[in-house]
Chains A and B, each alone.
Chain A
Amino acid sequence: MDWGYINARMRGMKSRLLDRRALDNLVLQPDLESLIAELEKTPYKSDIIEAKVQYTGVLCIEYALRKNFTRTFRKILTFVKEEEAEKYISLFLHRWDVQNIKTILRGKNIHITNEEILDCLVPAGELDEATLIELVRQPDVRAVIDMLATWQIGYSRPLTEEYPAFLKAGELALLECALDEYYYADALEQVKLPGYNNGLIHNIISLEIDVVNLRTLLRMIRDNIDPKEAKKFLISGGKEFDERQLDHLLTLHSIEEVAEELKTTPYRFLADLPPSVMRTRKISVIEKQLERFLVQKGVGAFLGDPLSVASVIGYFWAKYNEITNIRIISRCKTADFPLEQLKEELVYV
């Protein structure tokens, strides 16, 4: 396994990511047209030119970002083909399969057009564009699950199991949670053996489970959901919180109490949030902080052993963060957001 080659390529690719100055320059653009023109001076040039043929405004940027993200990770997969690294990277990219299946299920559940669903997909995972188009062509949720089962794709298993509950309750969240649970359990299972790479991936995935659980938990508490009901939506395998601790957190009555309880954990930054956030129960602010924490930890993987999968993981998070930042800028430009507020929304790593 030639980790030196992979590491050099990842670092080369990282050097082309937009730095703080480039992002600030994008923020300072007065409108969407100038933002698009500015993006044409960055490595997104070819994607923007391609997107401009079909779309204008924010849709053009969204399309270009999706294309760029997909192309970037397909490229990484080509130079790690049949190497040990492929397993780790594929495992990490499977999250886009989960995300795409969720998007398709959501689209089918609320009966939006196939074109609208296709516009939201990011074929960066194992399911390629042709597979996803075929899934989108299915008439309803049941047909999508059946199609996955026909192709013997693992995600059909949790969906088939949970489908009766979804039919009964009509809550798509049940299917989405089952998918998440399956993805994380499968990922943790694949990296359970000792070793630096396995440990690194295990660490970051279990950290992500914690963040997902905290996010769900805070929403449940905000909406006063019964703890027994809420428990169904939590995922096992977290790093910091086991089942018992999550059960305890679920019994708390307010977001302030949860933040207080987290003071002894790495999530103590939530307790430092302004009281107004807690009072107004603004989950979005807390979620942003959790996202920031996760991205910083993920990008921090770059500091790990260069002759390991660390640089790929670090790059994944850095790229993801860059795309998220550009999306935020474009959305804020559309909504005429004040400059200072826009800057606060961005995550610099």
Chain B
Amino acid sequence: MVGWEVPIGAAIAFSAGAIATGWAQSRIGSAGAGAIAERPETAGTIIILEAIPETLVILGFVVASMIILMVK
């Protein structure tokens, strides 16, 4: 029987990743905007850099899914 701990654990795993991703993207985004304003040719690199923190939330999602699916 699954208790309330499992969905709470999954929620923490996902939300912590999401918050961290948001924070990292905000910092990279503002610095990236500055870099693009001065050197528009860096746009491609900046978009890739902006996407890197997404891995964090994906990881959170995977961990949350694993918690829900595997803990029984």
A contact set with B: CB distance below 8 Å: 2, 4-9, 11-13, 15-16, 79
Contacts and interface: CB of A to CB of B under 8 A. Distances in A.
Nearest to B34: A8
B33 A12 contact: no
Interface of B: 27, 30-35, 37-39, 42
A307 to B, nearest CB: 9
A5 B42 CA distance: 15
B30 A12 contact: no
A9 B38 CA distance: 6
A202 to B, nearest CB: 26
A72 to B, nearest CB: 12
A7 B38 contact: no
A80 to B, nearest CB: 11
Contacts of B35: 8-9, 11-12
Nearest to A12: B38
Interface of chain A, helix or strand or loop or mixed?
helix
Nearest to A4: B31
Nearest to B40: A12
B33 A5 contact: yes
B41 to A, nearest CB: 11
B44 to A, nearest CB: 15
Given A6-B34, A12-B38, A79-B37, 20 more contacts: A4-B27, A4-B30, A4-B31, A4-B34, A5-B30, A5-B33, A7-B31, A7-B34, A8-B30, A8-B31, A8-B32, A8-B33, A8-B34, A8-B35, A8-B38, A9-B38, A12-B39, A12-B42, A15-B38, A16-B38
A9 B27 contact: no
B34 A5 contact: yes
A221 B63 CA distance: 75
**Most A-side CB within 10 Å, residue of B32, B33, B34, B42:** B34
Contacts of B32: 8
Nearest to B38: A12
Nearest to A9: B34
Contacts of A4: 27, 30-31, 34
B22 to A, nearest CB: 15
A-B pairs, top 3 by smallest CB distance, nearest first, are: A12-B38, A8-B34, A4-B31
A9 B42 CA distance: 12
Contacts of A8: 30-35, 38
Contacts of B39: 12, 15
A11 B46 CA distance: 14
A8 B32 CA distance: 7
A9 B37 contact: yes
19 contacts: A4-B27, A4-B30, A4-B31, A4-B34, A5-B33, A5-B34, A8-B31, A8-B32, A8-B33, A8-B34, A8-B35, A8-B38, A9-B34, A9-B35, A11-B35, A12-B34, A12-B35, A12-B37, A13-B38
Nearest to A8: B34
A43 to B, nearest CB: 11
A4 B34 CA distance: 8
B40 to A, nearest CB: 10
B49 to A, nearest CB: 11
A11 B35 CA distance: 8
**Most B-side CB within 10 Å, residue of A2, A7, A8, A15:** A8
A4 B35 CA distance: 10
